[in-house]
Amino acid sequence: MKPVLEIQKLRRNRSDAQEGALFANVSAQITEPSMIALLGVSGQGKSTLLRMLAALDQVDEGTIRLHNVSQQEMDARLWRMKVCYVAQQSVMLQGTIEQNLRTVSLLHRIPYDDKLVKQLLPKLGLAHLELGKSAEQLSGGEKQRIALLRSLLLKPAVLLLDEITASLDRASKEMVEQVLGEWHHQEGTTIVWVTHDLEQARRISKGVWFMGEGTLLENCATAAFFEKPATELAQSYIETPVPKEQPCLS
């Protein structure tokens, strides 16, 4: 079986104002469909790495291969159909929710799967939505789930999720996790999921990629990572207490 995703010695330079690399020597291989949690403190380049994997951001050095085909060899539009990025801040296009969902089929010339949309909306906690409503009026959490659904319609080989449940309440978050767990098993989709929610990382992933010190510092099984990470940096990252909720002031 061909490896799903291989990344070799990836490097991303900092923006013009700053010299040096944001990260370098990032190498990893996903040999069979998996669910990976991509962890690391803010500003390490997790979103940037996902965007590079999705051919949305420049690769300064290194190679990315999907099923043994490198990103440079494949048409970018085709690549983005197979390796889909769901952004931290989802952007809705002008128009209705349904028009937003239909965009991917129009863009990629594939049939719009109305049945799948109707199946997934309630599972994502979105049964109440009227698809004829303007997408711009959706709440942040609703936009994230519609953006996720928009990507699922493409049935990508690799789904790159960037903190997509960050603005969801607990019940909705667990619904999304459930949908994605089932999707992974049924479709064999590989998921790389950036999250700062360590309990979520434990629940959903089989493996952890931990970014730190300008590279991919750890790449191991989830249980092993949380039991005993190999580096002090990761140890302190998982030990950092979650800030207590502010007391109610009124």
Does 172 bind Mg ion (CB under 5 A)? Our answer is: no
Residue with tokens 């459930």: 178
Shortest separation between residue 240's beta carbon and ligand ATP, angstroms: 13
B/e letters for 206-234, b = 16+ CB within 10 Å, e = fewer, are ebbbbbbebbbbbbbebeebeeebeeebb
Question: How near is the Cβ of 148 to ligand ATP at its closest, in Å?
Answer: 17
Other CB atoms closer than 10 Å to residue 2's CB: what's the count? 11
Give, as ranges, the residues between 27 and 56 that touch Mg ion (CB under 5 A).
Answer: 47
Q: Which is nearer to ligand ATP, 44 or 144 (CB)?
A: 44
Both tokens of 245, joined, read: 């909720």
Q: Which residue has the tokens 């140890």?
A: 235
Residues 9-38 close enough to bind ligand ATP by CB under 6 A: 15, 22
Q: How far is the CB of 130 from ligand ATP (least distance, A)?
A: 32
Q: How far is the CB of 37 from ligand ATP (least distance, A)?
A: 13
Q: Which residue lies nearer to Mg ion by CB, 44 or 96? A: 44
Dihedral in degrees, nearest 10, Cα atoms 93, 95, 80, 37: 70
Taking the C-alpha atoms of residue 142 and residue 144, their distance in angstroms, rounded to an integer, is 5
Q: Does 48 bind ligand ATP (CB under 6 A)?
A: yes
The CB-side HSE value for 6 (13 A sphere, CA atoms) comes to 11
Which one of 4, 21, 30, 45 is in contact with ligand ATP (CB under 6 A)?
45
Binding status of residue 44 toward ligand ATP by CB under 6 A: yes
Binding site for ligand ATP (CB under 6 A): 15, 22, 40, 42-48
